[in-house]
């Protein structure tokens, strides 16, 4: 158990819908990262937040957005969902003392029908 | 464009042997290179980090080398066990860049 929690574990929805994925980092960690993992694209970095501020952005679609709240939990919002958005979405956090080490959560499996 | 390649999709080895995995990269100047283990349907687990000025790092039965001239890292699992069966991912982080770029992974199966 990495200490990073993600909810829900599974999500099944229809095309065109909007969903919110939630992540709580390890206690004391200020950084939160979001990744998407699909069979054809592998593990892809989406976005990072540090203490509430966006710090780095990857190939995140405009239909996707994220935020980190004052209590440091983070949410990833996916809208106008398409079949190709079906994937595992992981959240990770890193400790202040070792910012390059990331601890991954168990992931949310999103299925878009 | 930047590319990270891991040597093969799958590696099958006999218990007790050494598994050697390769990670090659192009158009990167990474500050760090990391190796993660991922079991099916689960999040990656951090194993080792090696910096650009380090040649080798060890942790228990794991050994990582990093050759910035060859742009290559080797990951060794010695005295392999069936419990080592998993997918192993290499990841790079460029200087002052806060995002990790991952390779596609190599799936290791250790036969008893």
pLDDT digits (tens, 9 = 90+) for A53-111: 999 999 899 999 999 999 999 999 999 999 999 999 999 999 887 777 899 999 999 99
pLDDT grade, residue B1 (50/70/90)?
A: confident
Distance, CA of A36 to CA of A24 (rounded, Å): 17
Residue of A nearest to B36 (CA): A102
Cβ <8 Å between A105 and B93? no
pLDDT tens digits for A9-21?
A: 999 999 999 999 9
Residue A69 backbone dihedrals phi, psi, to 5 degrees: -90, 165
Cα diameter, chain B = 44
Distance, CA of A86 to CA of A13 (rounded, Å): 10
pLDDT tens digits for B84-100?
A: 999 999 999 877 777 88
| Residue A100: predicted pLDDT | 77
Residue of B nearest to A54 (CA): B98
Cβ <8 Å between B43 and A100? no
| Residue B17: predicted pLDDT | 97
Cβ-Cβ contacts under 8 Å, B41 against chain A: 88, 107, 109
Query: Cβ atoms within 10 A of the Cβ of B100, count?
Result: 26
pLDDT at B109 over 80: yes
Cβ-Cβ contacts under 8 Å, A104 against chain B: 36, 43-45
Cβ-Cβ contacts under 8 Å, B98 against chain A: 31, 48, 50, 55-56, 99
Contact A13, A78 (CB under 8 A): no
pLDDT tens digits for B34-65?
A: 999 999 989 999 999 999 889 999 999 999 99
Q: Which two tokens stand for residue B6?
A: 């891991």
């Amino acid at each position: 158990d990495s200490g990073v929690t993600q909810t829900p574990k599974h999500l099944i929805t229809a095309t065109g819908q909007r969903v919110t994925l939630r992540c709580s980092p390890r206690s004391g960690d200020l950084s939160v990262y979001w990744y998407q993992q699909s069979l054809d694209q592998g593990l892809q970095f989406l976005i990072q937040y540090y203490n509430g501020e966006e710090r780095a952005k990857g190939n995140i679609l405009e239909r996707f957005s994220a935020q980190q709240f004052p209590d440091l939990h983070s949410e990833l919002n996916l809208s106008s969902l398409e079949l190709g958005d079906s994937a595992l979405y992981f959240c990770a956090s890193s400790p202040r003392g070792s910012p390059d080490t990331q601890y991954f959560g168990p992931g949310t499996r999103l299925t878009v029908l | 464009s930047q590319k990270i390649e891991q040597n093969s999709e799958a590696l099958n080895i006999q218990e007790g042997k050494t598994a050697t995995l390769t990670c090659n990269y192009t158009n990167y100047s990474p500050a760090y290179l990391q190796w993660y283990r991922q079991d099916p349907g689960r999040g990656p687990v951090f194993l080792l980090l090696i910096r650009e000025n380090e040649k080798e790092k060890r942790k228990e039965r794991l050994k990582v080398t990093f050759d910035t001239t060859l742009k290559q890292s080797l990951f060794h699992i010695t005295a392999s066990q069936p419990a080592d069966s998993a997918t192993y991912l290499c990841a790079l982080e460029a200087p002052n860049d806060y995002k990790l770029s991952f390779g596609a992974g190599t799936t290791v199966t250790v036969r008893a």
